[in-house]
Amino acid sequence: MSRKYFGTDGVRGKVGEFPITPEFVMHLGYAAGKVLATSEWHLAEGERPTVLIGKDTRISGYLLESALQAGLIAAGVDVYLAGPIPTPAVAYLTRALRLQAGVVISASHNPFEDNGIKFFSATGSKLPDEVEHAIEAGMDEPIVTMSSAYLGKAKRLEDAAGRYIEFCKSSFPYELDLRGLKLVVDCAHGAAYHIAGPVFHELGADVVTIGVQPDGKNINDAFGATAPANLQKAVIEHKADLGIALDGDADRLVMVDAEGRLYDGDQLLYIVAQHRQKMGLMKGGVVGTLMTNLAFEHAMQRMQIPFARAKVGDRYVMEMLQQKGWQLGGENSGHIICLDRHSTGDGIISALQVLHALRAGNKTLAQAASDMKMYPQVLINVRIAKGNDCSSHADVQAAVTSANKALAGKGRVLLRPSGTEPLLRVMVEGEDGEKVRHWAENIAQAVRAVA
């Protein structure tokens, strides 16, 4: 069954435009509340289901939190309000407090004008498809407020940040610490602004924080994982050993070494996988995506670690991990999933897994990543007519065949339609940068000719 409102990462859009309006969000809260209230949660008689609401630092979070809260309470559901807190913190607290669901109000790495609603199940993972479908079906029904005796209640969860800080610290080995390490931590003026610094500081690091002054409108603006230039500059200025950048809801991670060099999700995932293999801790293999650098795949082959590619999106990485019974996966954008540490991707916990590998191996970030030389990768977005999947056109396929022949097994070609725009993404990567650029442009030109 196709989704009407839910995308791969909940409901998302520009604030004030459908579906991110107070009317829709209140109705969404009501529909979700009715589904939760009628589900078999093994609640004691007279006990109401309880949902945790967390948000990032966007100014629209106040509006949407109130609307969502009103809808849930109207359906007879109790609400815990956690305030600004990372997306993975909501997943953890929902599970730890034995609640029926968790809701995050965030648009992750998007600009402040956007926002979204994402649900977690009682186990701290994404809602099952059948529950999402049931909520969507409930959106077609009018809001019928419960009688006053059966309305839900709201309560602020005052210690949400402290609980999550301790959880993050528990993912780092007790016998190790971060003493003697100077870190710059960039929180993107987002949900981890009051959390990430204390985690690394309490583990012993000397911490300098940037991107920790949210004003409701500056989330992800020139700071964070999607804009690391300020972090690179700060690491050099402060003579730090490492830099850590999170995105607005703190589920994404990139890192910077002492020289200001940037390391993406593929490189960080490689460091974690290499360490786990060496320590005999690797369970199964590693899941990447269609965009994972070919050098990572070749590195896994050298280490004899099984590797599989999922569709782009951490949702699909998670699904493949669960299908295969593996624990480790991620995207080059910086989403890293360690299922033996958390039920979802978590930027802070992922950073701690990289730091674990560095401390245990007594290596710098540059040394730990040195065995994997990233292949040049060229991505060209070609505008196409809406609905015209010209990737299968004979002329385009001929260009792809010629490129693959020229790359001779030392590169690859990927054509991927955008899920949100009328674009065909042409990606070519390989060992020879000039050859990669030539063939990417050659295939893009073939696409333009038939688009």
CA distance 280 to 275: 9
CA-closest candidate to residue 87, choices 215, 252, 254, 273: 252
CA distance 80 to 227: 33
SS3 call for 259: coil
Evaluate the CA torsion angle 155, 158, 159, 161 in order and state its sign: positive
Active-site residue identified among 2, 39, 106, 108: 108
What is the H or E stretch that residue 266 is in? helix 265-279
CA distance 331 to 316: 10
Could you confirm whether 108 is annotated as catalytic? yes
What is the H or E stretch that residue 53 is in? strand 50-55
Q: CA triplet 242, 248, 251: central angle to 5 degrees?
A: 70
Structure token digits, residue 239:
């003579």
Q: Torsion angle of alpha carbons 323, 329, 331, 332, nearest 10°?
A: -150
CA distance 36 to 424: 40
CA distance 308 to 299: 13
User: What amino acid is encoded at 354 in this protein?
Assistant: V
CA distance 429 to 349: 30
Question: Which amino acids are annotated catalytic?
Answer: 108
